[in-house]
Structure 1
Amino acid sequence: MKTKAVRLYGKADLRLEEFDLPEIKDDEILAKVVCDSLCMSSYKASNQGTDHKRVPNDVADNPVIIGHEFAGELVQVGSKWSSQFKEGDKFSIQPALNYKEGPVGVLSAPGYSYHHIGGDSTYVVIPNEVMELGCLLPYKGDGFYPASLSEPLSCVIGAIHANYHTTPGSYIHNMEIVEDGKMALLAGVGPMGLAAINYVLHREDRKPSLLVVTDIDQTRLDRAALLYTVDFAASRGIDLRYINTGEMADPIAGLKAISGEDGFNDVFVFAPVAPVVEQADAILGFDGCLNFFAGPSKQDFKAQMNFYNVHYAYTHVVGTSGGNTDDMKEALDIMSKGLDPAGLVTHVGGLNAVIDATLDLPNIPGGKKLIYNHVEMPLTAIADFKELGKNNAVYCMLADVCAKNNGLWSVEAEELLLANAGALQY
């Protein structure tokens, strides 16, 4: 089986190549990858090369396939797994394998460490360890993009589960955000912040009473407020407020005032920017938990923290890097119950767009960039479909479908693109 894939050879050295996959073994599975959403983690791995903890040292001679937020369908199932999986099954993969025997040990992951599996490819060989560790996850919903986006959604689910609080006189931590507490998402209207808002508003088991979402970009705040409305939040018992801290004379004082001067129980930081981290620390309430979600590229990243409050107010910090398999299962389950992750997606493209988009990802505005691997298409903003549709019928149809869905991507749009990809011209 031939595959076409984007492979990493070294720092900023990505190549789109066609090559033969090996015949699958009895304990492996051949799969077709339909789509992959580009992640900042791929940008970091691609630019850091072998300096990245998940990238093997020999990629110059044995390149790895990038991309780890992918979904597709199974093509051929080895005999070992034929009782659990069958051809045609839709799937998503938890890339954080925690597999001690992988190419780089416990940090090995599809999309960083493997030669024959990664999201930015047309076909892949799923190795035995993925199934052994329960990381090949069935997806029974409509379309494919929700399964692709289950991985980023699982990251925010894991982060929220990882927050913790204390009980006076006890050394046992109470995991999770505070029920009916006060919660803030700082720099919270990027792709992962939007995923967090969506999850918090839809989950059933634990919710804050106050959710404050901040940013300094009013356009992005307005889009978030259109997607995840204050009225819907109120129907869920949540007081949701979108705040532009760039317009506040004293953001810390202003945010504390919104909290009732007591500060916040749970504060999440979605940008690796020292002033944002320090702002988060300053608005923590008693026993407040600061979750540093955004992974910095610089290994010497630092920010100041008030250690007087650490000692006397029991404030504390937690950080997570990705979700676990249970988090992905929860993501797939909550999507089956009505959570649509389409609000994260602002751009769509084909496999030919991956290299340039990945290497320049921080400089491309908007949210998630969704790649359809069997399509040839430049990375295109959904907002541009209408203009492009003046000269191309496929873009015109896509514009009409997205317009019916509040300007968002959808299963209908996905099916239209896949059925008409051959008619795209650019």
Structure 2
Amino acid sequence: MLNRLIRINIRAIQHAGARMAVIVSSLAEGKRTVTAAGARNAAFDRMRTFIILLVLIHHSVIPYTYYGQTDRQWFLFFDAVVTFNDSFFMAAMFLLSGLFTWPSLQRKGVATFLRGRWLRLGLPFAFGAVCLMPLAYYAVELRHSGSGAGFIAFWWKTVTVGPWESGPIWFLGVLLAFDMLAAVVYLVAPGSVEAIGHVATAKLENPAYAFCMFLAASLVVYMPLDHHFGIAQWFTLGPLAVQSDRILLYLLYFFVGVGIGAVHADSSLLSPGGELARRWPLWLAATIVTYAGLIGLIYYKREFLPDPNNPPQGWDNVHAFFFASFSAAQTINLLALFLKFENSGSSILDRLRESSFGIFLIHYVPVLWLQYALFGITLAPNSQATAILKALIVFVLALASSWLATLALRRIPGIKHVL
């Protein structure tokens, strides 16, 4: 399936004759996904924007879930939403971000490529870590301990003592590290990446073959680390952070994308009529089955295990299997669906496309402050209705405010090249 995925993206790239913007990386570049002729690739533009909206939804509902609950109200369905998002969307973002790394390295050279990455990933990450994330997390500090010594003291403690929370922008720091690693591989062992691409695109007529290989690789890199670290541990170094059990999974997805972009072969799989898009019901079915397995495991843990917060190793191993399986299935499923159904005409997602990276970078500030303002307030006769209303208010206002802020910032000379 990865094979298909790979071919698919290669087709869009080759057919267009130019590099399409990386899905989230390209977000960071503030560039449009275009072909050489200047025509927009609607499927990838819209998929990029859709993932950003999932990020906003994810952060808007977390306080109103069973395990993430920080408010008095919660809604069980939000747990299903968080499980769905958390189990695939960051891995999918890394794969999509890797797709056009190799063509960019070939076209620009290592030095120019890295300068561009530091400008469009490193600079937003630094600004977010130093300014935006402390501002966002100050709302959490106020909820926990009141005004305390004030924001300046909180900021100084954050950057000198810690913890230095990076929120969702951890992705930018890890992606930048992966891009630098790709540049090193490009210099010393380019054939290794191209070999990945050739394996992934070996059977274009049979996307299930590529999917099985993709799934097997995902299980191999994820399950041992999950067994060792568990599912909740993060590796942190200052504002740099990544889930300890997922670091190799993210690296795999990224280099699978890089490998796909490195192979200049027939890429019919990337077209709306390609095999990957044509067989979307298969990927959808795989997504439903694996997601049902995840939900069933979570239900079993809550209802039948004596200590849900400390499940046995057997449960964790089965959960790791379904997690990696769902991540692979949904990544392919989402790609196929957008290629099949969101590749032409107009879409409501088009309105957000130019601002999507800015929204991703900024949204966590209004999200946390809105959740702080709504904390403890009852908006409806029952807990579930209140949780739904709060999440809806947070999502709508956070989207609107981060969107408007991005539009304003993009009017500043030079900022548009970053956002």
Which structure would you say has the larger RCO, counting Cα contacts within 8 Å and 6 or more residues apart? Answer: 2
Shorter-chain TM-score range: under 0.3
Q: Considering fraction of residues, name the structure with more helix.
A: 2
TM-score computed with the length of structure 2 as normaliser: 0.24
Q: Considering fraction of residues, name the structure with more strand.
A: 1
